[in-house]
Amino acid sequence: DDPMRVLRKLSLVKDGKPTNACYLAFAAVVNSSTLFQVGRFKGNSIILDSRTFKDDLFGELDSVMAFVKSHLMTGFVITGKPQHEIKNDYPVDAIREIVLNMLVHRDYREAGGVSVIKIFDDRIEFTNPGGLANGLTVDDLLSDRYATKARNPETAELFRHAGLTERYGSGIL
């Protein structure tokens, strides 16, 4: 389909102008609105590695995931098969789901807001500007009985059309 028609269908272009969601998703310039800080720590205060990403949303997803994967503890599992299996200390698919949710549900209006991932020896901490949206609570999430509503519907729809998310909220558990 014609690219402009697709952008209009996804509500990324309105009245002939790109929306904020369109800018965040595709801007080729350094973007302070999407600042993402990722670090690897030894203990609580020694920084072993740190990166700041300021990119379009798709670029940030790829860059953040590459950094996180490079710092996950990995082991080999001998299974009796001809090849060993590689096991990470955290499931990469679960981390990717969290990062996607951070990008889709972040409050981009929060001035100076930074998405942060801190990788420690015994845990990973994820912090995102805006908190839970639309009155949602942690208890709601844990109950698995809630209606999902994206804080950034155009961004959520774009990621869904790209095959990266769905709209059921099934990734929480």
Q: What is the pLDDT of residues 26-60, one digit of tens each?
A: 876 766 777 899 999 999 889 999 999 988 889 99
Question: Does residue 170 carry a pLDDT above 80?
Answer: no
Q: What is the pLDDT of residues 93-140, one digit of tens each?
A: 889 999 998 998 898 887 778 999 999 999 999 999 887 877 788 888
More confident residue, 129 or 173: 129
Does the pTM of the predicted model rise above 0.75?
yes
Burial pattern 18-50, b for ≥16 Cβ within 10 A else e, equals: ebebbbbbebeeebeebbbebbbbeeeeeeeee
Closest-CA residue to 66 (of 104, 117, 29, 112): 117
